[in-house]
Each structure stands twice: as structure tokens, then as C-alpha cells.
Amino acid sequence: MLRSITPLPTNSPEYKGIAELNLIYEAGLDRDSRPILILSAHRLPDPSVINYDLILANEFVESDYTLVFFSAPANYRPSWWWLLKAYRALDRRYKKNLKALYVLHLTRSYRIIFDLANRVTSPKFAKKLHYISRLEDLKQLVSLPATLIPDAVSTYDKSIPGARLVAGLETMVVDTSSHAFGRTLSDLAGMEGWDLATEPAVPSVVRQLVEHLVAHGKKSKRDTNIAHLFPFLPAGLDKEGLFRKSPSSEELNEVKAQLNHGQPVDFNLHDVDVAAALLKVFCRDLPTPVFSVDQSLTLCSLVQVKEQLGQQLAASFEEKPFEWRLLCYLLKFLHQVTDHAETNRMTAHNLAVVFAPNLIRAEQNTINLDTAMASQEVAMASATLYLKQMNQGISLLQVLITDCHDLT
């Protein structure tokens, strides 16, 4: 039985060999602020050299995520039986935490077996599975840096006839009249009538989300019956896995659209995860990131020297005063979240893991796929660099959350 396979020790030669294949790598965030993982069939090894069952024994994700599978080209393909076995072997939490699976360039025969597996083992999973015909269609649904797309995949994509976007998936349309998301902080300040002298100097949507998380959160019927006995309990901050779990994309986008159109939203009618996810999405959608990658790397070198870090931190935001005020507000809020770590399990480190990709990114992260196709080596190097930058950013953000009152 596959479930009896023992996970490989990280110091074992087999584990190191599989890790070096870079079969799965991180590629930023999707539009709902969930981590994106890429699995490329181009990297699948010779099954006579690597036992595919050992690949299944390694664990990758424990929070909500999106998976993009580049199914072609591939020198080696697992058997249909292995695919069925692999699917059934996945731990329930990995199936549950996978919120969307985009499969690019899947052949008809493999699509038949995928559909069969879904009908037999998990009809719910079928709703998460989307077949995509072209990279251009995928780009409209998931924003992937061109440097993380292997040139073998791009070359294969150019070799197939044109195809329409798969039914059931809609292109994301950016609303330029937004009242909340995707606008610069200075724009929002002008629209809402606040400035840097205002306390707090942050957009109204950020205040609304944070204040709701601190004070409310959707309660069960039992909670409602006893709420009058414990009015001081911040139910939102006590939610286990706060900021790690994601609501449905439909609900999230519906509430986001209401906020973008300036419509009132009663967050008590929604699960607390909606407000938590929208706070991450707001940060990710900012045209100017709170931290640039270079800024993060410079500050990360000072995390062991608190006095220098505090001075350099403020100085690095001299030309971004609105981002500075937002950062200070968020850090104090996240520090408050850690006060409830016994119930929500969100330590400063866990919060840093969640927020670093939303707060830290390059100033320009949009690259034309037609002019910047990556070789396999470049794609792997870019994935490694991204992971290194995020790890350094996580270390920095963890310190800032923990010591926010001394550093801001």
C-alpha cells in the first residue's frame, strides 16, 4: 500500500536527489493571495532511476495553495495506474488545501484518466481542476513571472494550434474605477480625504478589515448565544489558522467587487477568513510594493542589530511615506495577532510566512512572455532566487512583527 511509505529523511541521498530535480517550485501568489506551486512534467526523471513512489512520500504544502501543472513536454510520463494511486495516496489535508489546479497542455488520454479519477474518488476535487490549452489563457488566470516558465514549455506551446479558453473560466478584468484595490495609497488618500497627518493614515478598507478582525468574525449559533457574556473576546483573532485559510474565490471576489464599487459590506455575514484574505489581497494589489526586494535584502542584513535596523528602516521609507504609515499600522496589528497565538496558532514566524510574499516584491513584476522566455536553467535559478528572497524577507518581517513597538 502506498500509504505505508515512510517519508524520506531530509539527509538521505534519495531525498537530496529528488530535491535537486526541482520538480515543484514556488512562483509567487495567485489573485486570491494564495501561494502558487509549479509542477513541470519536463522535469520528471527516468522511472528506472527514480522510484516515483518516493516522490509521493515528500510533503510540500500545509496551507491553502494553487498548483499549476505543465504537463508537456515530457520525456517520461508516469503510468495511468500510478496517477490514480498517487491521487488516492494524497493526504486529505493536501486535497483540501489545494484550492485550484490548472493543468496546461494535457493530452486527451490523460484527461480521460483524470476525469475518471475525479468521478471515482472525489467529485469535489473535480471543481478545482481546470484544463488550459495555451500559456496565453493561463496568463489571464494566474500571473506567473516569465522567468519561471521553462522554455521547453513555451516552445511546446508555440507548436500547437490556437485554442480558446477552457469553458467555465473567465478572464479577470481590472476595474480602473476601483475605490479600494489596485490603487496607489496616495490616490486613495486623495479620494477619501485623509493625509499623512491623519491617524491612522491608512485607507478606509484597511481600517475596516483590521477593525473587523479585531472585534468580530463570523460566530456560530452557540457563539451568538453566549456573546453577551464575553463581549470583550476578539473572535476574529482567535480563529485557528487565521490568514492561512482561504474562502472560496467566488465569495472573495464578490466582496472585493463590492468594496471596489464603494458599496457597504457587512463582514458579519461572512466568515472571518474573507476579511483576512482581503487584507492580504489589498497589500498584494498595491501598484507600489510596501517593500521592494532590494529594500528587503538591505534591511535583512541588519536584523541582528536592532538600533541600526530601526534607523535604516525609517530612512528607507523616506520616499514612500504612505507605504511607511501602512507598514507601521500593519505591524502593530500583526503583533496583536501574535498575542492570540495559543488559539490561532499564528506566531510571528507564521504571519511572516503568509505576509512576506504580499508585502515584498520587485518594483516591476510584469514581463512579456513573448520577449522573455526562460531556459530551464534560468527558470530553476529564478525559482531558487525567489525562494531565497522570500526566506530573507520572512526573517526580516518576523523581527519587525515581534519588535514593532521598538522599531516603528
Q: What's the pLDDT score for residue 381?
A: 66
pLDDT at 135 over 90: yes
pLDDT digit string, tens, across residues 351-402 = 999 999 999 988 754 444 344 445 556 665 677 778 888 999 999 999 999 9
Contacts of residue 371, Cβ cutoff 8 Å, sequence gap at least 6: none
Q: Name the domain boundary from 95, 125, 159.
A: 159
In whole numbers, what is the pLDDT of the chain averaged over residues? 79
Q: What's the pLDDT score for residue 12?
A: 53
Range with the largest mean pLDDT of 24-38, 43-57, 317-331: 317-331
Residue 166 inside a domain? The answer is no
381 and 286 in a common domain: yes
Residue 208 inside a domain? The answer is yes
190 and 129 in a common domain: no
Q: What's the pLDDT score for residue 303?
A: 86
318 and 382 in a common domain: yes
345 and 200 in a common domain: yes
Range with the largest mean pLDDT of 23-27, 117-121, 370-374: 23-27
Q: What's the pLDDT score for residue 85?
A: 63
Residue 233 inside a domain? The answer is yes
pLDDT digit string, tens, across residues 225-277 = 444 444 444 467 999 999 998 899 899 999 999 999 999 999 999 999 999 99
Q: What is the CATH number of the domain that holds 47?
A: 3.40.525.10
Q: What's the pLDDT score for residue 81?
A: 67
343 and 211 in a common domain: yes
CA-CA-CA-CA torsion for 16, 17, 20, 22, nearest 10 degrees?
-110
278 and 380 in a common domain: yes
Q: What's the pLDDT score for residue 51?
A: 62
pLDDT digit string, tens, across residues 307-360 = 889 899 999 999 999 999 999 999 999 999 999 999 999 999 999 999 999 999
pLDDT at 175 over 60: no
Mean pLDDT for 31-41 is 88
Provide the CB-side half-sphere exposure for 305 (13 A, CA). Answer: 9
Q: What percent of the chain has pLDDT over 90?
A: 44
Residue 401 inside a domain? The answer is yes
Mean pLDDT for 131-137 is 91
Q: What is the CATH number of the domain that holds 353?
A: 1.10.555.10
145 and 209 in a common domain: no
Q: Of residues 135 and 98, which shows the higher confidence score?
A: 135
Relative to beta strand 129-132, strand 291-292 is unpaired
Q: What's the pLDDT score for residue 107?
A: 78
pLDDT at 170 over 50: no
Residue 214 contacts residue 237 (beta carbons within 8 Å): yes
Relative to beta strand 98-104, strand 129-132 is parallel
371 and 233 in a common domain: yes
238 and 121 in a common domain: no
Residue 261 contacts residue 181 (beta carbons within 8 Å): no
Q: Distance between CA 149 and CA 28 in Å, rounded?
A: 12
Residue 170 inside a domain? The answer is no
Mean pLDDT for 197-201 is 94
- Widest pairwise Cα distance in the chain: 67
Residue 165 inside a domain? The answer is no
Q: What's the pLDDT score for residue 178?
A: 80
Residue 375 inside a domain? The answer is yes
Q: Name the domain boundary from 144, 159, 174.
A: 159
Q: What's the pLDDT score for residue 167?
A: 41
Structural domain containing residue 329: 185-407
247 and 365 in a common domain: yes
Q: What's the pLDDT score for residue 11?
A: 55
Ordered DSSP codes for 183-226: S-HHHHHHHHT--TTSSS-S-HHHHHHHHHHHH-----HHHHHH
* Amino acid (1-letter code) at residue 294: D
Q: Of residues 61 and 284, which shows the higher confidence score?
A: 284
Burial class (CB in 10 A: 0-12, 13-18, 19+), 144: buried
Q: 2-6, 101-105, 126-130, 247-251: which has the minimum mean pLDDT?
A: 2-6
Residue 44 inside a domain? The answer is yes
Q: How many folded domains does the chain comprise?
A: 2
Q: 22-36, 285-299, 343-357: which has the minimum mean pLDDT?
A: 22-36
Q: What's the pLDDT score for residue 3?
A: 40
- Name the CA radius of gyration of the chain, rounded: 22
152 and 212 in a common domain: no
Q: Name the domain boundary from 124, 159, 194.
A: 159
- Helix H or strand E segment including 255: helix 249-260
* Amino acid (1-letter code) at residue 316: S
Closest by CA position to 149, among listed 371, 311, 343: 371
Q: What's the pLDDT score for residue 1?
A: 35
273 and 210 in a common domain: yes
Q: What's the pLDDT score for residue 115?
A: 73
Q: What's the pLDDT score for residue 84?
A: 62
